[in-house]
Homo-oligomer: A and B are copies of this chain.
Amino acid sequence: MTRRRPLIFSAFNEFVLSHHDHGSWRRADSRQTELNTADAWVDLARLLERGRFDFLFFADVLAPYDIYRGSRDAAIATGMQTPVNDPAVLIPILAHATTDLSFVLTENILQEPPYTFARKMSTLDHLSGGRIAWNIVTSFLPGAGRNLGHDGLPSHEERYGRAEDYVTAVFKLWEASWEDDAVVADRVRGVYADPSKVHTIDHVGPYYTVPGPHLTEPSPQRTPFLFNAAASGTGIGFAGANAEVLFTSGGREQAPASVRQLRAAAVAQGRAASDVKILGGLGVVVGSTEEEARRLDAELRETQTLESILVKFSGFWQEDLDRYPAHATVAEILASTDPGPLLRQVLGSAPDPDADFATFARWAANRHAVGTPEQIADEIDAWQDAGVDGLNLQYLVSPGSFADFVDHVRPVLVDRGTMRADYGSGTARERVTDGGPFLPESHPARRHRAALARRREEDAR
- Chain B nearest CB from A42 CB (Å) reads 8
* Interface of chain A residues 279 through 313 with chain B (CB within 8 A): 303, 305, 308
Question: Which residue of chain B has its CB nearest to the CB of A151?
Answer: B209
Question: Which residue of chain B has its CB nearest to the CB of A185?
Answer: B33
- Chain B nearest CB from A342 CB (Å) reads 25
How far is it, in angstroms, between the C-alpha of A212 and the C-alpha of B82 when the chains are bound? 12
How far is it, in angstroms, between the C-alpha of A254 and the C-alpha of B191 when the chains are bound? 35
Q: Is the CB of A215 within 8 A of B62?
A: yes
* Interface of chain A residues 68 through 105 with chain B (CB within 8 A): 71-74, 76-79, 82-86, 88-93, 96-97
Question: Which residue of chain B has its CB nearest to the CB of A210?
Answer: B147
- Chain B nearest CB from A424 CB (Å) reads 21
Scoring A36, A89, A146 by chain B CB atoms within 10 A of each residue's CB, the highest score goes to A89
Q: A192 interface residue, CB < 8 Å from B?
A: yes
Residues of B within 8 A of A129 (CB): 37
How far is it, in angstroms, between the C-alpha of A109 and the C-alpha of B394 when the chains are bound? 37
- Chain B nearest CB from A145 CB (Å) reads 10
Scoring A38, A111, A214 by chain B CB atoms within 10 A of each residue's CB, the highest score goes to A38
With A119-B86, A190-B23 already in contact, the answer to whether A72 and B147 are too (CB < 8 A) is: no
With A112-B112, A115-B147, A217-B36 already in contact, the answer to whether A127 and B90 are too (CB < 8 A) is: yes
Q: Is the CB of A208 within 8 A of B149?
A: yes
Q: Is the CB of A86 within 8 A of B195?
A: no
Q: Bits for A355-372, please: 1 = Cβ < 8 Å to B, else 0.
A: 000000000000000000
Q: A64 interface residue, CB < 8 Å from B?
A: yes
Residues of B within 8 A of A209 (CB): 146, 149
With A62-B115, A195-B77 already in contact, the answer to whether A126 and B210 are too (CB < 8 A) is: no
Q: A338 interface residue, CB < 8 Å from B?
A: no
Q: A400 interface residue, CB < 8 Å from B?
A: no
Scoring A25, A71, A74, A77 by chain B CB atoms within 10 A of each residue's CB, the highest score goes to A77
* Interface of chain A residues 142 through 159 with chain B (CB within 8 A): 143, 146-149
Residues of B within 8 A of A38 (CB): 92, 96, 127
Residues of B within 8 A of A213 (CB): 64, 72
Residues of B within 8 A of A89 (CB): 88-89, 91-92, 120, 123-124, 127
Q: Is the CB of A37 within 8 A of B113?
A: no
Residues of B within 8 A of A198 (CB): 72, 76
Residues of B within 8 A of A193 (CB): 76-77, 79, 82-83
Quickly give the copy total for this chain.
2
Q: A17 interface residue, CB < 8 Å from B?
A: yes
Contact of A90 among B123, B149, B191, B195 (CB under 8 A): B123
- Chain B nearest CB from A22 CB (Å) reads 9
Residues of B within 8 A of A73 (CB): 195
- Chain B nearest CB from A75 CB (Å) reads 8
Q: Bits for A29-62, please: 1 = Cβ < 8 Å to B, else 0.
A: 0000100111000100000000000000000001
How far is it, in angstroms, between the C-alpha of A457 and the C-alpha of B147 when the chains are bound? 27
* Interface of chain A residues 380 through 436 with chain B (CB within 8 A): none
How far is it, in angstroms, between the C-alpha of A143 and the C-alpha of B115 when the chains are bound? 12
Q: A375 interface residue, CB < 8 Å from B?
A: no
Q: A219 interface residue, CB < 8 Å from B?
A: yes
Q: Is the CB of B25 within 8 A of A192?
A: yes
- Chain B nearest CB from A434 CB (Å) reads 27
Contact of A79 among B25, B122, B143, B192 (CB under 8 A): B192
Residues of B within 8 A of A113 (CB): 111-112, 147-149
How far is it, in angstroms, between the C-alpha of A216 and the C-alpha of B60 when the chains are bound? 13
Q: Is the CB of B86 within 8 A of A305?
A: no
Q: What are 14 A-B pairs at a CB distance below 8 A?
A: A17-B192, A25-B187, A42-B96, A63-B215, A86-B123, A88-B88, A89-B120, A89-B123, A89-B127, A93-B96, A113-B147, A115-B148, A147-B212, A190-B305
- In the complex, besides A17-B192, A78-B190, A84-B119, 11 extra interface pairs with C-beta distance below 8 angstroms are A38-B92, A76-B195, A79-B193, A82-B193, A83-B216, A83-B217, A86-B216, A92-B93, A93-B96, A93-B127, A113-B148
